[in-house]
């Protein structure tokens, strides 16, 4: 008898305990054993009791928000009854273990899925690796690096018992007033899509295989919260279907179709009058039926209640709960009353049981798929691989720093050598090599200020290059140091570096979604400088790390200190730290009505610069700031965003020249707040009229970033061989030669909403890039497309491909891009995706600015 029973269980299809069965089958089998209450319980999420600090009160009743809440009878009993399926923000392993122990006491013992905002590393947990923020990662234009970070984050999460991250944030951020820009991959749909896809691959494993090292990702926020009305988080969005599909949806399409993301989170905002949490067109027709999403949808934090309280759309919260389930939300984040409301609606016949089975079934399927039922309890042991992960964090910080201006003052002390910030992730894992440089005298410290030279000084006529390139003479052919030269200050006399500013020595460097960390785990800019510039005299004024502490007296002190220094480094910007007691200016729910340096930082910068010493602005920020004065008046600007726990080292290495900066802007930097929204992929008519009282163009364009080396682009070429594949696209010169027939033009998609799937390459574009500077370095080659005329107006250009290439000094590489029909499609006047016949311009070069791009034409008959 016993033998037979074992046999039935072990080969048993339909046994949810059989780990060899597919997740979907196990979920179905388990559902059959569950009561209505247990099923709705799976749809309920609670914040972990210890997350809410004592004394701050709980956002939901019955939880007193103290450490003792682990023993809170009401919540504990709910878990024991199987009425809770998920928690978020379990900050300690001890708490995660205690909660799972309670779940084991429930009738079916279904484990809890514990989620957390691991946005740039598992950064809400003390001791986990804090990578640079998403906007930094976007600046690397290095998707493989983003995948590695996702994989490392997943490993650290699992060790803490966390199997679900509310990341990546796929909002396309097109308004810098909105405080969440720093947790996004920027303003461009293609860049956000690529970074999002690789991030999900890293977190979940490719093909969502969730092997032992992975966790469930969450594509958020559906949709269009990145350009809220007036720049305020959660404000309404009114947008055309075209704008929705061309700008905001592509990252979600890629997350679902290419990366098979396991969960999606709805956005706070309404779209065209319907709040996203109650929008059945968005959550069912588009997400499920059209995009084929097969995971589950979680609400954002108490946003279902806000269908009533904030949107005034549902007359009360019970109605809000019911409408959200009807619309397609599968899990409620977080709190009481949802459970009772949903059960009531099922019992009254308003919500069909089928809908509950669908929601609970998807949640269970994900729990099975990620291995939660077989997972060991989280470990209290120290994190594995912590050192290797910190090295990745350092590499990412190095790659992400964007040099916006340099009149020759950087790298600071020219006896350090410039090392590469790497070409491939693999090479970055090694210590940055010193560039091959010949013996040369060490230039004096006080490098004379040099005017910004015209682009022609640096580039071939074929490619005008970056208009902002710094002085060719100082960097071209004048090696900075002998090979293996000692790093640090020029030994001939001691130099004084004045490091000043509220962000110089604070954990602001970690960005939003990071818990305060032990100081020993964070390298601030000041610490990085101290380590990097050994022997230099370092004078400081850091205002206790608080922007609000800057006052007139402090500014005068800064002016005096600047006067007696040799070099001034002002570390200013914003503060996104959500756990700061006060003084936060950026991050979630920290939106601004101006983009200038907050507080008295501008006055501080001006006072320091007035001393007449070479002045470098290190901008540490979670949004695009307006820096018109700084651009004119300081010698160099490094936009370091929020570069994470190793960021201070990376910044110091870029200052010294040990690392050659290679980041590029993933957003347009506006001249002033009045310019927003300002994006590079605007329509032609956007600037047909100019502002009456100020310059109209942005300060720095999307895709822009300087190097200590310089890269020369050859003339690009387009392959003109016999066309292949179903689409027929040719360089203009080839059209006559091959006489393409109209029938040969790509077919219009029958699907109304989706972009056509990528077809084989229709042609290729190649360009040769040479590192003509004396230092090794990385360059991001960017390819944009312009559809010259179509049935609808088209953007002036759209990023369609990019490639980060690492080149040793003097080295060249050919970069080839395939041109696919997918790159040429638009959502036409008939509300369908297609490639419309006509002329296209391919633009290729070092940034989105016209002067940095070379053009090729192609025609579709």
Binding residues for ligand BGC, per CB under 6 A?
88, 117, 166, 220, 300-301, 588
Taking residue 335's Cβ as centre, other Cβ atoms within 10 Å add up to: 21
Q: Pick between residue 306 and residue 561 the one whose CB is nearest to ligand BGC.
A: 306
Give the pair of three-digit tokens for residue 516: 């305060």
Provide, rounded to whole angstroms, the least separation between the CB of residue 252 and ligand BGC.
15
Are residues 551 and 541 in contact, defined by beta-carbon separation less than 8 angstroms? no
DSSP string of 363-393, one letter each residue: HHHHHHHTTGGGPPPPP-SPPTTHHHHHHHH
Provide, rounded to whole angstroms, the least separation between the CB of residue 623 and ligand BGC.
16
Provide, rounded to whole angstroms, the least separation between the CB of residue 170 and ligand BGC.
11
Provide, rounded to whole angstroms, the least separation between the CB of residue 322 and ligand BGC.
22
The span from the CA of 545 to the CA of 577, in Å, is: 11
Q: Pick between residue 185 and residue 713 the one whose CB is nearest to ligand BGC.
A: 185
SS3 of 235-291: CCECCCHHHHHHHHCHHHHHHHHCCCCCEEEECCCEECCEEHHHCHHHHHHHHHHHC
Q: Pick between residue 246 and residue 330 the one whose CB is nearest to ligand BGC.
A: 330
Q: Pick between residue 301 and residue 840 the one whose CB is nearest to ligand BGC.
A: 301
Q: Pick between residue 120 and residue 220 the one whose CB is nearest to ligand BGC.
A: 220
The span from the CA of 547 to the CA of 508, in Å, is: 11
Q: If DSSP codes are grouped into helix, strand and coil, which group holds residue 669?
A: strand
Q: How many residues can be counted in the chain?
A: 861
The span from the CA of 768 to the CA of 813, in Å, is: 6
Q: What are the φ/ψ torsions at residue 247 (nearest 5 degrees)?
A: -105, -55
The span from the CA of 528 to the CA of 618, in Å, is: 13
Provide, rounded to whole angstroms, the least separation between the CB of residue 166 and ligand BGC.
4
Provide, rounded to whole angstroms, the least separation between the CB of residue 172 and ligand BGC.
15
Q: Pick between residue 134 and residue 645 the one whose CB is nearest to ligand BGC.
A: 134
Instruction: Note the helical H segments in 425-547.
Output: 425-428, 472-475, 525-532
Q: Which residues contact 559 (CB under 8 A, 6 or more apart)?
A: 607, 608, 610, 611
Strands 615-620 and 636-639 turn out to be parallel
**How buried is 282 (Cβ within 10 angstroms: 0-12 exposed, 13-18 middle, 19+ buried)?**
buried
**How buried is 259 (Cβ within 10 angstroms: 0-12 exposed, 13-18 middle, 19+ buried)?**
buried
Q: Pick between residue 167 and residue 504 the one whose CB is nearest to ligand BGC.
A: 167
Q: Pick between residue 133 and residue 474 the one whose CB is nearest to ligand BGC.
A: 133
Provide, rounded to whole angstroms, the least separation between the CB of residue 522 and ligand BGC.
22
The span from the CA of 786 to the CA of 850, in Å, is: 12
Provide, rounded to whole angstroms, the least separation between the CB of residue 119 and ligand BGC.
8
Bin 725: left if φ > 0, else alpha if -120 < ψ < 50, else beta.
Answer: left
Q: Pick between residue 93 and residue 334 the one whose CB is nearest to ligand BGC.
A: 334
The span from the CA of 141 to the CA of 192, in Å, is: 10
Q: Pick between residue 119 and residue 393 the one whose CB is nearest to ligand BGC.
A: 119
Q: Pick between residue 300 and residue 532 the one whose CB is nearest to ligand BGC.
A: 300
Provide, rounded to whole angstroms, the least separation between the CB of residue 204 and ligand BGC.
17
**How buried is 640 (Cβ within 10 angstroms: 0-12 exposed, 13-18 middle, 19+ buried)?**
buried
Q: Which residues pair with 842 in a beta bridge?
A: 785, 856
Q: Which residues pair with 814 in a beta bridge?
A: 768
The span from the CA of 685 to the CA of 450, in Å, is: 37
Provide, rounded to whole angstroms, the least separation between the CB of residue 655 and ligand BGC.
34
Provide, rounded to whole angstroms, the least separation between the CB of residue 727 and ligand BGC.
39
The span from the CA of 134 to the CA of 132, in Å, is: 7
Provide, rounded to whole angstroms, the least separation between the CB of residue 237 and ligand BGC.
15
Report the residue number whose CB is nearest to ligand BGC.
166
Q: Pick between residue 365 and residue 588 the one whose CB is nearest to ligand BGC.
A: 588
Provide, rounded to whole angstroms, the least separation between the CB of residue 88 and ligand BGC.
6
Of 804, 719, 812, 641, whose CA–CA distance to 136 is shortest? Answer: 641
Q: Pick between residue 222 and residue 858 the one whose CB is nearest to ligand BGC.
A: 222
């Amino acid at each position: 008898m016993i033998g037979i029973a074992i046999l039935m269980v072990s080969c048993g299809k339909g046994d949810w305990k059989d780990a060899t069965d597919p997740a979907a089958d196990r979920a179905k089998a388990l559902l059959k054993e569950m009561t209505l209450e247990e099923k709705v319980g799976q749809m309920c999420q609670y914040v972990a009791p210890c997350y809410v600090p004592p004394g701050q009160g709980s956002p939901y009743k019955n939880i007193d928000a103290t450490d003792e809440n682990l023993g809170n009878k009401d919540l504990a009993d709910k878990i024991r009854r199987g009425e809770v399926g998920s928690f978020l923000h379990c900050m300690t392993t001890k708490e995660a273990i205690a909660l799972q122990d309670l779940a084991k006491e429930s009738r079916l013992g279904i484990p809890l899925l514990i989620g957390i905002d691991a946005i740039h590393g598992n950064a809400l947990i003390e001791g986990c690796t804090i990578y640079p923020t998403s906007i930094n990662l976007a600046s690397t234009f290095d998707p493989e690096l983003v995948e590695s970070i996702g994989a490392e984050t997943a490993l650290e999460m699992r060790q803490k018992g966390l199997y679900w991250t509310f990341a990546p944030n796929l909002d396309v951020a097109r308004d810098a007033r909105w405080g969440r820009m720093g947790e996004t991959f920027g303003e461009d749909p293609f860049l956000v899509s690529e970074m999002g896809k690789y991030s999900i691959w890293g977190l979940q494993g490719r093909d969502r295989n969730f092997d032992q090292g992975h966790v469930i990702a969450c594509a958020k926020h559906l949709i269009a919260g990145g350009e809220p009305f007036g720049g305020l988080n959660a404000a309404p969005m009114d947008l055309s279907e075209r704008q929705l599909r061309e700008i905001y949806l592509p990252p979600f399409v890629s997350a679902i179709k290419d990366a098979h993301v396991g969960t999606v989170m709805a956005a706070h905002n309404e779209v065209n009058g319907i709040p996203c949490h109650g929008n059945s067109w968005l959550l069912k027709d588009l997400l499920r039926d059209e995009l084929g999403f097969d995971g589950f949808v979680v609400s954002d934090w108490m946003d279902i209640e806000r269908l009533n309280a904030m949107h005034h759309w549902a007359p009360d919260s019970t109605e809000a709960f019911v409408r959200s389930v009807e619309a397609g939300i599968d899990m409620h984040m977080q709190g009481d009353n949802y459970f009772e409301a949903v059960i009531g609606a099922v019992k009254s016949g308003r919500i069909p049981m089928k809908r509950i089975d669908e929601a609970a079934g998807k949640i269970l399927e994900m729990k099975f798929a990620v291995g939660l039922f077989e997972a060991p309890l989280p470990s209290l042991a120290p994190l594995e691989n912590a050192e290797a992960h910190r090295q990745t964090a350092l590499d990412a910080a190095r790659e992400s720093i964007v040099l916006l201006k340099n009149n020759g003052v950087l790298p600071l002390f020219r006896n350090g050598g410039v090392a590469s910030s790497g070409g491939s992730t693999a090479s970055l894992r090694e210590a940055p090599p010193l560039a091959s440089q010949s013996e040369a005298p060490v230039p004096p410290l006080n490098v004379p200020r040099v005017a910004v030279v015209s682009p022609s000084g640096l580039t071939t006529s074929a490619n005008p290059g970056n208009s902002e390139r710094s002085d060719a003479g100082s960097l071209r052919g004048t090696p900075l140091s002998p090979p293996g030269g000692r790093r640090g200050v020029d030994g001939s006399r001691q130099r004084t570096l004045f490091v000043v500013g509220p962000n110089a020595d604070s954990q602001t460097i970690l960005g939003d979604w990071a818990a305060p960390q032990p100081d020993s785990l964070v390298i601030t800019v000041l610490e990085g400088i101290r380590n990097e510039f050994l022997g230099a005299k370092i004078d400081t004024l850091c205002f206790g790390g608080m922007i609000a502490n800057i006052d007139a007296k402090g500014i005068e002190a800064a002016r005096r200190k600047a006067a007696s220094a040799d070099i001034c480094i002002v570390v200013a910007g914003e503060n996104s730290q959500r756990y700061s007691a006060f003084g936060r200016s950026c991050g979630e729910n920290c939106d601004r009505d101006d983009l200038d340096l907050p507080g008295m930082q501008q006055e501080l910068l001006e006072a320091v610069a007035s001393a007449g010493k070479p002045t470098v602005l290190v901008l540490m920020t979670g949004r695009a700031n307006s820096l018109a004065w700084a651009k004119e008046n300081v010698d160099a600007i490094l936009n370091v965003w929020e570069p994470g726990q190793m960021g201070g080292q990376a910044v110091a290495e870029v200052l010294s020249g040990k690392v050659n900066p290679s980041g590029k802007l993933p957003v347009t930097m506006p001249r002033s707040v009045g310019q927003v929204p300002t994006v590079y992929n605007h329509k032609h008519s956007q600037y047909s009229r100019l502002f009456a009282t100020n310059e109209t163009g942005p300060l720095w364009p999307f895709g822009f970033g300087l190097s200590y080396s310089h890269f020369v682009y050859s003339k690009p070429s387009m392959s003109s061989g016999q066309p292949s594949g179903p689409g027929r696209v040719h360089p203009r010169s080839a059209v006559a030669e091959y006489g393409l027939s109209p029938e040969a033009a790509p077919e219009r998609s029958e699907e109304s909403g989706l972009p056509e799937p990528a077809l084989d390459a229709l042609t290729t574009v190649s360009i040769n890039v040479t590192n003509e500077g004396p230092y090794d370095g990385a360059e991001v080659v960017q390819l944009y497309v312009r559809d010259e005329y179509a049935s609808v107006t088209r953007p002036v250009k759209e990023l369609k491909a990019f490639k980060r290439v690492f080149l040793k000094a003097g080295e060249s590489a050919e970069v080839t891009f395939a041109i696919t029909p997918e790159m040429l499609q638009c959502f036409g006047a008939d509300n369908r995706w297609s490639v419309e016949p006509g002329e296209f311009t391919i633009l290729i070069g070092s940034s989105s600015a016209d002067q940095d791009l070379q053009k090729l034409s192609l025609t579709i008959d």
